[in-house]
Structure 1
Amino acid sequence: MLLEKKNAIIYGAGGAVGSAVAHAFAAEGARVFLAGRTSAPLKAVAEKIQASGGAADVATVDVLDEDAVEAHVSAVAENGGSVDVSFNAVSLPQTGIQGKWIVDMSTDSFDLPMTTYPKANFLTARAAGRRMAAQGSGVILTITASPSRTAVPLMGGMAPAWAAVESLSRGLAAELGPRGVRVVCLNAAGMPETPQLTEVYGLHADAYGISGEAFHARMAERTLRKHLPTVAEIANVAVFVASDRSSAMTGTIANLTGGMIVD
């Protein structure tokens, strides 16, 4: 098992990506600590993991509350003995954030992702990084999407926010690398089976006056494979990057766009 005896914190574990990564981590032997603002979806994920023989703990944590984040990471370290992996998969509802031209947006709509995603990743990475640096090992994972590195309309503050998360990841890698901690950002294209992507593609489709299916097809055509990545594909890479088999990877953006971006 790639993550045997590892303790992994997953923020946003009740969502589509966070839950898939939690299941994948647990299947590879990790004890997963599921964190999020709402307990019910976290408990549902934990119950499925436990029913499959995995180990899962649940905590309600607001990732924008630095005291709550610090307290939770301290509890994980005390309870599990170490903090080996931290993955931040938190997200915001996108209605009112995407699907509008930047020149027509309100300041609040543009500002919300800019003040949420970088801060959330800073607080969770800082808390984990302190413990990992002290123990001399660990992996911090972040996740963004292809508009961070391309010129895409109707993204509002999302693309700049994702770009900030990628920059933060590189800075953390530079500072924590000498202390045994790796930092990798997963950059994905849209995952069509997630409820959030259905919402996002609907917003963009409405802006262009086409159907959601037509916009989906347009985005799939932009990839080299002619189909978008799945949540399972993202989770599989997250497992590999979190494991010791990717020990040479840090300070990088893992390209999971299916060729929508070509490095």
Structure 2
Amino acid sequence: MLLENKNAIVYGASGAIGSAVAQAFAGEGARVFLAGRSSAGLEKTAEKIQAAGGVTDVATVDVLDAEAVQAHASAVAQSAGSLDISFNAVSLPQTGIQGIPFVSLPLENFDLPMATYPKANFLTARAAAHHMTDQGSGVILTITASPSRTAVPFMGGMAPAWAAIEALSRGLAAELGPHGVRVVCLNAAGMPETPQLAEVYGLHADAHGIPRDAFHARMADRTLRKQLPTVAEIANVAAFVASDRAAAMTGAIANLSGGMIAD
């Protein structure tokens, strides 16, 4: 197992991506601590992990509350004996954020992702880093999407927020690398089976004046393999990157766009 004897916190574990990554971590032997705003959603993820024989704990944590994030990370490290992996998959509803031209976008709508995503990732990474640097090992994972590195209309503050997370990940990697801590950002194209992507593609389809299926097909055609990545594909890479087999990988933006971005 790739993550045997590892302890991982997954923030936003009630969402499609967070849940899938948490299950992948558990499937590779990690004890997974599920954190998020919805206890009901977290319990559903926990039930899936436990049904598959995994070990998990649940905690309601506001990732924008610095003290709550730090207290939870400290409790995990103390109770489990180490904090080895931190993955942040928090998200916001996108209606009112995407699908609107910049010239028509209210300031507060532009500012919301800018003020939420980078801050949430900073707070969770900082909390994990305190413990990982002390123990001399650990992996911090973030996630963004392809518009951080491409020219896409109607993204509002999302693309700038993702770009900020990528810059944050590189800076963290530079500071934490000498202490044995790796930081990797996963950059993915849209995953069609997630509820959030259905919302987002609907917003963009309306903005372009085409059906949602047509916009979906347009996005899939932009990939080199002519299909968008799945949640399972992203989760499998996350588990590998979090493992010791990826020990040489840090400060990287892992390209999981299916070739939508060609490096």
TM-score (norm 1): 1.00
Q: Distance in 1 between matches of 2:102 and 2:79?
A: 46
**In 2, Cα distance between equivalents of 1:133 and 1:159:** 30
1: distance between equivalents of 2:16 and 2:252? 24
Instruction: Give SS of 2:254's match.
Output: strand
Query: CA separation in 2, counterparts of 1:37 and 1:67?
Result: 15
What is the CA distance between 1:47 and its match in structure 2? 1.2
Partner deviation per Cα, 1:75-114 (whole Å, 9 max, x = no partner): 1001100000000000000000000001110000000000
Counterpart check, 1:96 vs 2:96? yes
Distance 1:50 1:110 in 2: 39
User: Is 1:159 the equivalent of 2:159?
Assistant: yes
Once the two structures are superposed, residues 190-246 of structure 1 have per-residue CA deviations (whole angstroms, 9 ceiling, x without a partner) of 000000000000000001111110000000000000000000000000000000000
Q: Distance in 1 between matches of 2:158 and 2:143?
A: 13
Residue 12 of structure 2 is matched in structure 1 by 12
Separation (CA, whole Å) in 1 of partners of 2:166 and 2:94: 20
Amino acid at match of 2:152: V
Give the Cα separation in 1 of the matches to 2:192 and 2:51. 27
State the secondary structure of the residue aligned to 2:33.
strand
User: What's the counterpart of residue 226 of structure 2?
Assistant: 226
Flag structure 2 segments of 5+ consecutive residues without an equivalent: none
Equivalences for residues 1-263 of structure 1 within 5 A: 1-263=1-263
SS of the counterpart of 1:207?
A: helix
Residue type of the alignment partner of 1:163: A
The 4+ residue runs of structure 1 with deviation greater than 2 A are: none
Whichever residue aligns with residue 65 of structure 1, its letter is D
- Report SS of the residue matched to 2:261: coil
**Please, what is the CA RMSD of the aligned residues?**
0.4
TM-aligned CA deviation for residue 18 of structure 1: 0.2
CA distance in 2, matches of 1:222, 1:49: 34
Secondary structure (helix, strand or coil) at the match of 1:150 reads: coil
Q: Separation in 2 of the partners of 1:232 and 1:27?
A: 12
Report the secondary structure of 2:90's partner residue: coil
3-state DSSP of counterpart to 1:143: strand
Q: Given residue 88 of structure 1, which amino acid in structure 2 is its aligned partner?
A: N
C-alpha separation in 1, matches of 2:50 and 2:218: 39
Residue 180 of structure 1 deviates from its aligned partner by 0.1
| C-alpha distance in structure 1 between counterparts of 2:126 and 2:193, whole Å | 31
Secondary structure of the residue aligned to 2:190 is coil
Unaligned runs of 5+ in 1: none
TM-score, with length taken from structure 2: 1.00
* Percent identity between the two aligned chains: 79
Shift of 1:163: 0.2
Q: Deviation string for 1:115-159 (max 9, x for gaps)?
A: 000000000000001100000000000000000001110000000
Q: Secondary structure at the match of 1:177?
A: helix
Note the C-alpha offset of 1:48.
1.4
Give the secondary-structure state (helix, strand or coil) at the position aligned to 1:111: helix
**Residue by residue, what CA displacement relative to the aligned partner does 1:25-61 show, whole Å, maximum 9, x if unpaired?**
0000000000000100101110111111100100000
